[in-house]
Amino acid sequence: MNSRITRLSTHALLILFGIIWIFPFVWMLSSSFKSNREYLGGGLDLIPDAIQWSNYKRAWEVANFSTYFNNSIVLTVAVVAIVVVTSALCGYALGRVNFKGRTLFLFIITSTIFIPKGYTIIPIYMLIKQLGLLNSMPGVILAEAGGAQILFILLFTAHFKGMPGELEESAEIDGAGFLRTFFRIMLPLSTPIIATTILMQFMWTWNSFLTPLIFTLNTPDLRTLSVGMFSFIGQYQSDYTGLTAAASIALLPVMIVFIALQRYFVEGIAGAVKG
Amino acid sequence: MSRAVNTASQTDRTYSRLLKRETQKKLWAYVFILPQTIMFMAFVAYPIVMSYVYSMYEWNGIGPRENFVGLKYYGELMSDHIFWNAYKNSFLFMLTTVVTQLPAALLLALVLNSPKLRLKVLYRTTYFLPVVTSSAVVAAVMRYIFGQRNGVFNEALMMLNLIEKPVPWLSSMDYALFTIALISSWKWLGIKLVYFLAGLQSIPNEVYEAAMIDGANRRQTLWYITIPLIMPVGAVILMLSVVDGLHAFDLVKVMTDGGPGIATQTVDLYIYTTAFAGIPSIGYASAAGIFFGLSIFAVSLLLGWIVKTANAKGGK
């Protein structure tokens, strides 16, 4: 009896705090369907009088969120592709081949996590500028993809290292070369790691703010959703419902992907701290 | 006789084929690490080195870098009140997030880790949800929620009779920094929760069984088994939280942009403003970045040392 009361009250508390926890998102969604007048007088009432799709239309067309949305997609897809390919290739070489300089390579990339860095976005900005890629999408992509992939390299390395040697040998006996073994045998067996990498990098890039902010200071047409949100505040300060609609446009895709695939997100992040 | 020679040359051939295969493998390995190496050199190693170099030049980022000033900027930083204000703010922000976030995350992890609890995944998903959202976008929504007039937070507090008149959460010098820090705690608690859960799940079941056989009750198991065993993971989580907490930018930039006045300006925001707004001073911004980077490094070393000595004592 006693334990049942404990259990029920635990659930009650978890649910109560859970509702408070996600209240900002519920409120955002609810406000995005209200009219500005209802918003100002509505207080805590979460059910809109009449659904106002015009807020979304305004955010999408007038406030340019269609452009921002496209930019976010282009940036995220490109960065995720670059990161998956480069870290999978690198992890395979490190995990399966004992080449000269392997230990040194691993030592150098892991030690950069610990050494005190400066404000490295400034040299990256200057580098992109020297490459002539300032004010262009490829410039933003490079700046965003170039950073810390150490975690993914280590995940791939550990994964490929743990695969049985017989797999490789039997492929070689069948006459498969290095490339064929990698693409036909090893890579298809790495889908969990690839999925983790895609999800985590997707989340980071989609939500990234500082890098796209710096690289699109003079080019509004290249802005992503996060940066677009920031310029929205400056331009349409008092369009409350337009802003909440814009925020819903920016947040809902990631939230839906997360809820659908939450297990992989959580396992990836837990694996990152354990490994 | 001829047969033996035959076998020998065959082994020889197999051996040389294997050798060739090994060499080829190594060559391919270099090809495979090449893209990553280029990226690493260009976007990790080079920027780290250059941020030290830049800090010794007077330079606005345009034209050649000629005016070497040595450590002049580091000296100027020491007497820059605006920088020290940001420095203090960054540490206050970090302390607020660490003190509020870690105990809450640990408590929640302990509750969610109990084997009999149902709906675990639902709760975990709920508390993790803010983590996957964009800080900048969340910040824009939070500006409204914590607004002084028409802010939902104030309205809710007034409805519950907890306050009499609206509180200027984001426009008061005294509250703004703490308000943003608490929002940051809310935003990132889920990730700390998952870290703690991973740590709790790595405690082997046999330990609990042994404690049960020895007649330990739940509270004793918690205090003498779970908490001590989670400490090493806890130390790593603390370290991560300290470093993350010191790099507050997205939320602050969008919610107050350092205001009111410079009450919420953090070091990252200060450097950003120095480097990218108005007349840029790349050298000075870089010096501030290096100095702050070294400070964080020192804090991590100190924390690491404290954790190590505490563990050594606890072990005995």
Q: What ipTM was assigned to the predicted interfaces of this complex?
A: 0.91
Predicted pLDDT of residue B1:
46
Q: Which CATH architecture has domain A64-235?
A: Orthogonal Bundle (1.10)
pLDDT in tens, B29-87: 999 999 999 999 999 999 999 999 999 999 988 888 888 998 999 999 999 999 999 99
Residue A245, pLDDT > 90, answer yes
Tokens 């890629």 -> residue: A133
pLDDT over 70, % of chain B = 96
Residue A96, pLDDT > 50, answer yes
Residues 6+ apart with CB under 8 A from A75: A137, A140, A141, A144, A205, A212, A224
> Residues of A with CB below 8 A from B126's CB?
18, 21-22
Between 3.40.50.10440, 1.10.3720.10, 3.30.200.20, 3.40.50.1370, what CATH number should domain B72-315 receive?
A: 1.10.3720.10
Cross-strand partners of B68: B57
Predicted pLDDT of residue B168:
92
Predicted pLDDT of residue B316:
43
Residues A152 and A200: their CA atoms lie apart, in Å, by 10
Neighbours of B16 (CB within 10 A): 10
Q: Do A18 and B123 lie within an 8 Å CB cutoff?
A: yes
> Residues of B with CB below 8 A from A109's CB?
40, 44
Burial string for A215-229 (b: 16+ CB within 10 Å, else e) reads bbeeeeebbbbbbbb
Tokens 């990234």 -> residue: A208
Stretch A72-83: mean pLDDT, rounded?
96
Helices A102-114 and A150-161 pack at an angle, to 10 degrees, of 140
Residues A254 and A249: their CA atoms lie apart, in Å, by 10
Residue A76, pLDDT > 90, answer yes
Helix or strand (DSSP H, E) at B291: helix B282-315
Q: Do A115 and B48 lie within an 8 Å CB cutoff?
A: yes
Cα Rg of chain B (Å, integer): 28
DSSP state of A187: G
Chain A residue with the nearest C-alpha to that of B282: A122
pLDDT in tens, B113-172: 887 888 888 999 999 999 999 999 999 999 999 988 778 899 889 989 898 888 999 999
Burial string for A157-176 (b: 16+ CB within 10 Å, else e) reads bebbeebeeeebeebbeeeb
pLDDT in tens, A132-167: 999 999 999 999 998 768 889 999 999 999 988 888
Structure tokens at B306: 């404290």
* CB of B285 closer than 8 Å to CB of B273: no
Give domain limits for chain A: 64-235
Q: Distance from A252 to chain B by nearest Cα, in Å?
A: 9
Predicted pLDDT of residue B5:
55
Cross-strand partners of B67: B58
Q: Do A214 and B143 lie within an 8 Å CB cutoff?
A: no
Predicted pLDDT of residue A48:
84
Cα–Cα distances (Å) from A194 to A72, A96, A152, B243, in that order, read 21, 17, 9, 28
Give domain limits for chain B: 2-54, 72-315
Predicted pLDDT of residue A1:
53
Q: Do B195 and A266 lie within an 8 Å CB cutoff?
A: no
Q: Do B136 and A229 lie within an 8 Å CB cutoff?
A: yes
Q: Distance from B92 to chain A by nearest Cα, in Å?
A: 21
Predicted pLDDT of residue A136:
94
Predicted pLDDT of residue B4:
54
Main-chain dihedrals φ then ψ at residue B57, nearest 5 degrees: -125, 145
Q: Distance from B128 to chain A by nearest Cα, in Å?
A: 9
Q: What is the mean pLDDT of chain B?
A: 89
Cross-strand partners of A210: none
Q: How many A-B residue pairs are in contact by the CB < 8 A criterion?
A: 254
Q: Do A225 and B198 lie within an 8 Å CB cutoff?
A: no
Predicted pLDDT of residue B260:
92
Structure tokens at B149: 């007039």
Residues A2 and B25: their CA atoms lie apart, in Å, by 65
Predicted pLDDT of residue B203:
86
Helix or strand (DSSP H, E) at B237: helix B227-246
Predicted pLDDT of residue B7:
65
Which of B125, B141, B201 to mutate to probe the A interface, most A CBs <10 Å? B141
- Which candidate, A54, A66, A154, A57, places its Cα nearest to that of A109? A154
Q: Do A119 and B129 lie within an 8 Å CB cutoff?
A: no
Predicted pLDDT of residue B6:
60
Q: What is the mean pLDDT of chain A?
A: 89
Structure tokens at B2: 């001829």
Q: Do B28 and A121 lie within an 8 Å CB cutoff?
A: no
- Which candidate, A27, A72, A74, places its Cα nearest to that of A48? A27
| Residue count (chain A) | 275
> Residues of A with CB below 8 A from B128's CB?
258, 262, 265-266
Q: Do A209 and B134 lie within an 8 Å CB cutoff?
A: yes
Residues B252 and B247: their CA atoms lie apart, in Å, by 10
Predicted pLDDT of residue A265:
77
